[in-house]
Amino acid sequence: LKCAPTLAQATHSSPHTLPSIHQSLPAQIRTMPLYEEKLISPLAVRFTQEHIRPVFQSGRELECTIREIKTKPGAGDYDVILEAPFDAIEIIRWHAKRDESGEDQDKRCWFTFDNRRLYCLQRAAVALWPRRAGIVVQGLYAATEGAHRKDSSTTAGRAVGVGHSLKSLTAWWDWRSEVAGKPAGENIHSLILLDEKRNSIEELCDAPAPPSMLDLFFQNEGSLHKVEGLSQHARTPTEGSTTDCSSPRSLAGSDVSPGQSAFASASDALCGVWRGGHGETYQVKASAQGWDCVRTDSAGKTRKFDLWYDEKDDLVWWGSAWNLYMQASEARSQQGQVHWYNNDGSWKPRSTWRYADAPAQEPGRSCGGSRAAARNPRKPQQQQQQQQQQQQ
């Protein structure tokens, strides 16, 4: 459950603006949840745009991205869970704005503003028909200001056009038409209808939680195999996700400090303040589940994320969607920077963090205490060699 610091602070520092009705809540209410990670069928989520471009803002084609979507074992009512090479989409419950057919006018449904990502996920789910595919989503409790004005769909979000403009559409997507000629699947139709009728975030199925760091910390190598199912995507080589020499994930080394566990060494190196490539900062602190990461952008807005440690592969994962990771060994190398990679076997980093000055530590907290002092452990040795050469 993700929460804003306080109601008073939420409207200034939260990435999601809370509706004005919450300003009249009792003062005893200290926090307001922003979103929860849940499971839902992508076919139960609707579009908010009349058309989408066939490429992402990065220039990557949607068709290429669809081919990279993989699956992992299902949970709850779902046979499989889709794993995409992008972040989880955000969904919100509200009524349809426009429907020229009049079929769903003013009907309350699940909508998203991540239209291109939803299109990719629906394409992957239809390809698996009649298997029941689910996705991890961030269920928002409150929409951003002016969100309704961004809804341009005239079909209540049931369909979306694909093209660089409305005048040059190359396709029209509606998953209902796509499955019309496929074998009937009563179970999947029932699941989609059930997800559509769930009126609140609380009624959606909970997303699978990442493994607890307390469990990983105290388990030995033999017992670690019990949690392999929770990180199957990281440990089982699959198409487009390799562990050979072409992937940075194969570079994890044995550089753990003597007398320390792998997690403790990684935590000592990772905790502190890092700077991204767009003026934003990331403050990392240890938590029961791994690390809490607070991102502060150049405008001063903050957002909290979870980082957790995969001890078997010596990787640090961002969130629970299995699509972004860094090598813990890179942090332990004390080179002053770390790289984040997409989980697609690519060598090209998605982003780079550079270490800043460590923040003041709380009393009794040792996390990151030696990080600043050990930023370049090779420097004293190099100075000593230079002095010896001068004497000679």
pLDDT of residue 217: 55
The answer to whether the beta carbons of residues 17 and 145 sit under 8 Å apart is: yes
Q: According to the per-residue pLDDT averaged within each range, which of 116-130, 234-248, 249-263, 275-289 is highest?
A: 116-130
Question: Which is nearest to 274 in space by CA: 370, 341, 372?
Answer: 372
Q: Is the pLDDT of residue 116 over 50?
A: yes
Secondary-structure percent of the chain, ordered helix, strand, coil, rounded to 5: 30, 25, 45
pLDDT of residue 133: 95
Q: Is the pLDDT of residue 6 over 50?
A: no
Residue linked to tokens 């509200």: 94
249-270: average pLDDT: 63
57-61: average pLDDT: 88
DSSP letters for 132-152: -EEEEEEEESSPPTTGGGG--
pLDDT of residue 388: 58
Structure tokens at 181: 């000629």
Residue linked to tokens 């000055």: 357
Residue 222's pLDDT band (boundaries 50, 70, 90)? Answer: very low
Among 201-210, 308-317, 368-377, the least confident range: 368-377
Helices marked H in 74-185: 115-127, 175-178
Model pTM score? 0.50
Q: Is the pLDDT of residue 12 over 60?
A: no
Structure tokens at 243: 């562990």
Higher pLDDT, 190 or 182: 190
Higher pLDDT, 34 or 390: 34
Residue linked to tokens 């975030």: 201
Residues, the chain: 392
Residue 349's pLDDT band (boundaries 50, 70, 90)? Answer: confident
pLDDT of residue 281: 93
Residue 183's pLDDT band (boundaries 50, 70, 90)? Answer: confident
Q: What does the DSSP 8-state code read for residue 316?
A: E
pLDDT of residue 236: 36
Helices marked H in the chain: 7-13, 62-68, 115-127, 175-178, 186-197, 213-218, 232-235, 262-270, 328-332, 378-391
Q: Is the pLDDT of residue 244 over 70?
A: no
Torsion of the alpha carbons at 13, 16, 19 and 24, rounded to the nearest 10? -40
pLDDT of residue 221: 41
Q: C-alpha angle with apex 146: 142 to 148, nearest 5 degrees? A: 80
Residue 372's pLDDT band (boundaries 50, 70, 90)? Answer: very low
Structure tokens at 345: 């076997």
Q: Is the pLDDT of residue 38 over 50?
A: yes
The answer to whether the beta carbons of residues 227 and 211 sit under 8 Å apart is: yes
Higher pLDDT, 87 or 236: 87
Q: Which residues contact 294 (CB under 8 A, 6 or more apart)?
A: 282, 283, 302, 303, 304, 305
Instruction: Report d(CA 188, CA 195) in Å as an integer.
Output: 11
Among 144-148, 174-178, 265-269, 285-289, the least confident range: 144-148
pLDDT of residue 382: 47
Give, in order, the Cα–Cα distances in Å from 9 to each of 21, 30, 304, 361: 15, 10, 14, 24
The answer to whether the beta carbons of residues 134 and 184 sit under 8 Å apart is: no
Instruction: Report d(CA 177, CA 43) in Å as an integer.
Output: 12
pLDDT of residue 240: 36
Residue 163's pLDDT band (boundaries 50, 70, 90)? Answer: very high
